[in-house]
Amino acid sequence: MWRADETELLHGEPVSPDSVFALSEEWWKALNSSLDALAEQRTTRVATPDTIAITPAGVTAAIKETFPGVSDTTIGEWAPAHADLNWANMTTPQFCLFDWEDWGMAPRGLDAAWLWGNSLVLPELAERVRRERRRDLESRDGKLMSLFFCTKILGPHADPGDPRMGLARIEADRIVADLRAD
């Protein structure tokens, strides 16, 4: 069954690789305030990244398959998430977040991890996302969600030609070491 929601006309264009480095400080503030406001809401919906309901068992299976050295994948905090946060689902020059069909409750940091992971092809952009969403990404759950995203790049079903692979490997190694130290 498919569900359709009525939306209004978006003002602006989807963020493109050509426009990511021209995003204004106001745009970043709007992104941050929107994600913070979303995390304060409550819903009974479960997020469906990649159209699959996110569950503790699914997160554990994906992480352990790709990163067997991670022993504790316990998720501590759940919050509402967009669950498909990537550059093509936001507009510029005026910030607007759209494409909400996957939203729902998810582990804290899912959105920040998805945006960070989708930025790995441009290391400076990935670092900007890390700075902007530091609170989420440096939390234990945020680290788990970052690894969960990395399973898509480095796992057994990944595309060997993915240009994010090199930086994803470096970052995944760092995150695994951080989790072991916690």
Could you report how far apart the first and last alpha carbons of the chain are, in Å? Answer: 43
Per-residue pLDDT reduced to its tens digit, 52-96? 999 999 999 999 999 999 999 999 999 999 999 999 999 999 999
- pTM equals 0.94
CA 92/CA 34 separation, integer angstroms: 15
The pair of structure tokens assigned to 107 is: 């582990």
Domain map (residue ranges) of the chain: 16-181
**CA-CA-CA-CA dihedral for 75, 170, 85, 68, to nearest 10:** -30
Residue 8 pLDDT? 67
3-state SS assignment for residue 153 = helix
Q: At what angle do helices 140-154 and 110-117 cross, to 10 degrees?
A: 40
Higher pLDDT, 1 or 103: 103
Residue 11 pLDDT? 83
Residue 3 pLDDT? 55
The pair of structure tokens assigned to 103 is: 């939203």
CA 120/CA 166 separation, integer angstroms: 9
Query: What is the identity of the amino acid at 71?
Result: S
CA 24/CA 70 separation, integer angstroms: 38
CA 26/CA 54 separation, integer angstroms: 32
16-181 classified as CATH 3.90.1200.10: yes
